[in-house]
Each structure stands twice: as C-alpha cells, then as structure tokens.
A = this chain, B = another copy of it.
Amino acid sequence: MINKVVGDLAAAMAGIQSDASIMISGFSNAGVPTTLVRALGAMNLTGLTLIMNAARRIDECDASLFNDRRVDHVITTAFRGPEAAPANFEQQWKRGELSLEILPQGTFAERIRAGGAGIPAFFSPTAVGTSLVEGREQRDFNGQTYVLEEALTADFALLRAQKADRHGNLFFRGTQANFGSAMATAARTTIVEVAEISETGLRPEEIHLPGIYVQRVLQAPRQDQIA
C-alpha cells in the first residue's frame, strides 16, 4: 500500500546531505515550506546549492543557512535583501564566498519545468540583448533571436501545500503552487509540508499535482515566514 505520509521531521528530511542541491518553493509569503527550511537550517550541512525564487524569503525563514555559510551556490531570480544596507548573503556574494546564477523569473520557472519534463534545453526570447546572455548560444527562428537555456534539476525539492493524501496528491491554496509544482517534477526526492492530510483522499478535481511527483508528506502548521 502506498503511504507517503511521514510521521516526523527527521523522516521527512532523511538523506539530505552536504553538497546537496535543493529547490525551495515559495513566492513572497505563499508556498514557503517554513518548517522544512528551518529543519534544513538545523542540519548543520555545508556546500548546499539552493534553487529558489528569492534568497531574501529563505533568509527571513532561517538566517542560519547563509549566516553559518551552509550555502555555496544559489540559483535565483532575486538576490537582494529588504534593507538599503546589504544583507549577510549579499555581502557573502560580494566577497566571493558563494557563487550566484541570477535568472529572469520565467526562465527560472521554465528551466525547472524542462528538468521535470525530460527536455534538456530550449530556446527562449527572454534576456536576449542583455548582459545575461553575453557569450551564450543564440539562434534566430523566424527572424527573432533566442538564447539556449538548459534544464534545471535538483536532488531535493521542499514544498508547502494546503492538503495532501497518502498517495502524495497535492492541493495548493491561493498562490501556493508558484514554483513548487514544477520543482516537484524536477527533483529526485520531493518533500512537502501541508496543513492537512486528507484521510479520504483528494478528489481528482482537487488535485493540482499528482502524487507521482511527491515522495514524502509531512503535516506541519503554517508558520509565519519571518522567525
């Protein structure tokens, strides 16, 4: 019998090791897996690659990830702290202590989607003509220039959703899905925290993400993102 629901945080986070690549869902305050991110911060790992829309949101969730130098590489669309003074993670980048790949948000999303969909690379119009694509492969189709973008995958994805069932099917509330639904398809192991476990099972019309993409589900109350 399939049962993807795990009983505690330790079981949820099992197997995440130093040097892992980890996708983290969330846009602003929606869909941020606060409990899982804080558990990750408490694991005392090093050499992590974090793949998330905005570094600030994860830093607000658990400052130890950057403060304790757990992160070596970041792939993101926004690497800027909320204050005029640079955040710790911005300073680390300026000092060369971590490397950064900064992407347009749509390219970020589509590269993750490609990673889950078996598409190794695609051409995109976004960022053509900007400094982001200097020196990269570009090609014209129908008179317009496009840049080649490669798929993104990761060892783990951490998501938050509203509801799950034992099959791992997910229901997202509001704008919770954002990058999480694609990240789940692009990671080898997808771990989801949810407000509710449906004992009767989600109905087909409620399911936003089929359980095939989810390996572990943990019930965890919503926490404010800023600790």
Quick one: which of B110, B118, B141, B150 contacts A150, CB cutoff 8 A?
Answer: B141
In A126-159, the 8 Å CB interface with B consists of 139, 141-142, 144, 146, 150
User: Does A121 touch B at the CB level, under 8 Å?
Assistant: yes
Q: Specify how many copies of this chain sit in the oligomer.
A: 2
Shortest beta-carbon distance from A127 to chain B in Å: 13
In the bound complex, what is the Cα–Cα distance between A55 and B49 (angstroms)?
Answer: 48
Q: In the complex, which range does the number of interface residues on chain A fall in? A: 10 to 19
Smallest CB-CB separation from A208: which chain B residue? B205
Quick one: which of B120, B139, B141 contacts A146, CB cutoff 8 A?
Answer: B120
Most buried by B among A119, A141, A146: A119
A-B contact sample (11 more), CB < 8 A, given A118-B124, A118-B125: A110-B117, A110-B119, A119-B122, A120-B123, A120-B144, A120-B146, A121-B123, A121-B139, A121-B141, A121-B146, A141-B150
